[in-house]
Amino acid sequence: MCRHLAYLGAPISPAELMFAAPHALLVQSYAPLDMRGGGSVNADGFGLGWYPELGGAPQRYRRQSPLWTEQTLPALAASVSTTAFVAAVRNGTTGMPVTEAAAAPFTDGRWLFSHNGVVRGWPGSMAGLAKSLDVTELLTLEAPTDAALLWALLRARLRDGADPLAAVTDLIAEVEAAAPGSRLNFLLTDGTTLIGTTWTHALSVRSAAGGVVLASEPCDPDPAWTPVPDHHAVRVTAAGVELLPLTLDRSTNS
């Protein structure tokens, strides 16, 4: 499975967590410690999405190559100062394409989204849910992958004005019903709220005075890292960090 992380808080450089930390995302691309569900490296692309200091829509940099071969992003990430970002390295599911468009984070308006996991029975298991989308949405998916379809389903809810946590919870419930045993770890942010989920996969949270990090694996040996229990959501806002159980009855706990 992929590795991803997200940050919300005081301005920092994404390079701190992507490249400088002892177990940075770069290290997790070639030496991950908790690859559940198959795979040993995350070599099928990477991406970084961040919010400019002056506001506006997030910026994004993605490539289909392994992060450890990348020459441009280390300096680019070091030059950025941002209050929120999402970064990911991809281990593509067998049968799905290795393209830049398949790499997280996905974006729409103010939103950044990443999926770490797999939808069981893809693509047939998702046919029923896909019917809820406009045909144009289906024909213009960024990539023919489970993550891209999950993002299309989620952003449709967000565009309709759904509460972000409710939208995420509803989607997980529907996908689990259609494709039992799927791994559905999400990261979603609009730059002011950050939501992460654990659904049959690992996620850890580190909360410090300056900001909050959610990551597939801790980026350093800091004892402040706390594993998030399975089937839970983490919601991060200016008010603090909430740990909320995810239930299949679509309870939003909000």
Average pLDDT over residues 175-201: 97
Residues acting as catalytic residues: 2
The CATH number assigned to the domain with range 3-245 reads 3.60.20.10
The Cα–Cα gap between 188 and 151 comes to 10
Distance of CA 70 to the CA centre of its chain: 20
Instruction: Answer whether 105's CB lies under 8 Å from 47's CB.
Output: yes
The Cα–Cα gap between 214 and 12 comes to 15
pLDDT above 60 (res 211): yes
Residue 254 confidence class, pLDDT cut points 50, 70, 90: very low
Mean pLDDT of the chain: 94
Average pLDDT over residues 165-191: 97
Residues in contact with 57: Cβ distance below 8 Å, sequence separation at least 6, in sequence order = 107, 109, 110
On the CB side of 216, CA atoms within 13 Å amount to: 35
Average pLDDT over residues 101-105: 98
Phi, psi of 15 (to 5 degrees): -60, -25
Q: Report the pLDDT value the prediction gives residue 92, as an integer from 0 to 100.
A: 86
Q: 213 vs 9, 222, 235, CA distance in Å?
A: 9, 12, 11
Average pLDDT over residues 130-134: 96
Distance of CA 251 to the CA centre of its chain: 21
Q: Report the pLDDT value the prediction gives residue 38, as an integer from 0 to 100.
A: 65
Q: Report the pLDDT value the prediction gives residue 53, as an integer from 0 to 100.
A: 81
Identify the weakest region by mean pLDDT among 11-25, 28-42, 116-130, 233-247.
Answer: 28-42
Instruction: Answer whether 88's CB lies under 8 Å from 104's CB.
Output: yes
- Find tokens 């910026």 and name the residue: 59
The Cα–Cα gap between 116 and 91 comes to 9
Q: Report the pLDDT value the prediction gives residue 22, as an integer from 0 to 100.
A: 98
Query: What global pTM score does this model have?
Result: 0.95
The structure tokens listed for 72 are 């441009």
Residue 249 confidence class, pLDDT cut points 50, 70, 90: low
Average pLDDT over residues 7-17: 98
Each domain of the chain, given as residue ranges in start order, spans: 3-245
Instruction: Answer whether 82's CB lies under 8 Å from 55's CB.
Output: no
DSSP per-residue letters across 162-185: --HHHHHHHHHHHHHHHSTT-EEE
The structure tokens listed for 176 are 């689990």
Q: Report the pLDDT value the prediction gives residue 250, as an integer from 0 to 100.
A: 44
Report which of 198, 205, 181 is spatially closest to residue 232, judged by C-alpha positions.
Answer: 198
pLDDT digits (tens, 9 = 90+) for 15-68: 999 999 999 999 999 999 987 766 789 999 999 999 998 778 999 999 999 999
